Structure 1
Amino acid sequence: MKQIQQKDELMKRIGTFLQKTSLPRDIYEPYIARPFQTTGFFDDLSPYIEIVQNGYILIQYERGVQVLHKRTTEADEVIYWILEDTIFLTVYLDMMKKYQVDNIHTHLPSDPSIHKQIVDRVNESFRAIGGLYEKWHHEGKRATIETQAKK
């Protein structure tokens, strides 16, 4: 049986990987713990993790309704899923800061060059992390993780 890593171990590994990137720590750091919250408001389509005795339950909500509830025993899948979300969110928030938009009254321009900058920075971050996580990023593993297992 695989050893199930606890919240603190997973958060430490995620933080170590994110430190390899050029992403602003002040933006990503608060989001490392978010996936492990168990009460309160759940952001739409963000990853949430429940650690159980024999693995992990991957959870997502949309408009307050749970849309994903899937089990895995793979800590690497959990870490990758959180990295994928945190890296994209950090890049997006940093771009909002760069373009001085608040996403309420002002928004990032709908411009292919903005989209390219986001994609390039996400790819650059995974390149800095390397290994399995970079491979999974380029293979689009997030989509397979977020696909509900057949019953």
Structure 2
Amino acid sequence: MVGTTRTFELFRFADTVQSVTAEVRCGEPPTMGDERYYAAEIVLKSDFVTGRVDLWVSLEDLDEWERCLDTLQAEEGVEWPAGGRGAWLAVLPEDPVEVTVHDSPSTQIAVRVPIDVASDWLEENRLRLDHVRKAVAPAS
């Protein structure tokens, strides 16, 4: 399937009204320096605001997201991805889960979304991470 690009959700925080997801395009990634990055977008949808912001995801970012899921399971907040390359999000595992999407440094706009996630949201996001890892494995 050379040249085929497929999109996978890396994570999804959603309820019946709003959601925040990260969609990673898996296929032939461009290379920046010594690291391979995959094009991705953080997608926010709600009755109030809808938007998309671009970012680049590396294999190291996937490992970092796994550590973030562990931290969220311990009921501590996280910020992802690290490094200040562009867009990022902060997640607080409260009731409801609070996700803030930051478009930085371009517009410096941040949108905070409280989301009543399902009880299995951590397990579902671990499965999404596994799917992305499998999709990028042949190219790594």
The answer to whether the superposition gives a TM-score over 0.5 is no
Which protein has the bigger strand share? Answer: 2
Q: Which has the larger radius of gyration?
A: 1
Which protein has the bigger helix share? Answer: 1
TM-score (norm 1): 0.29
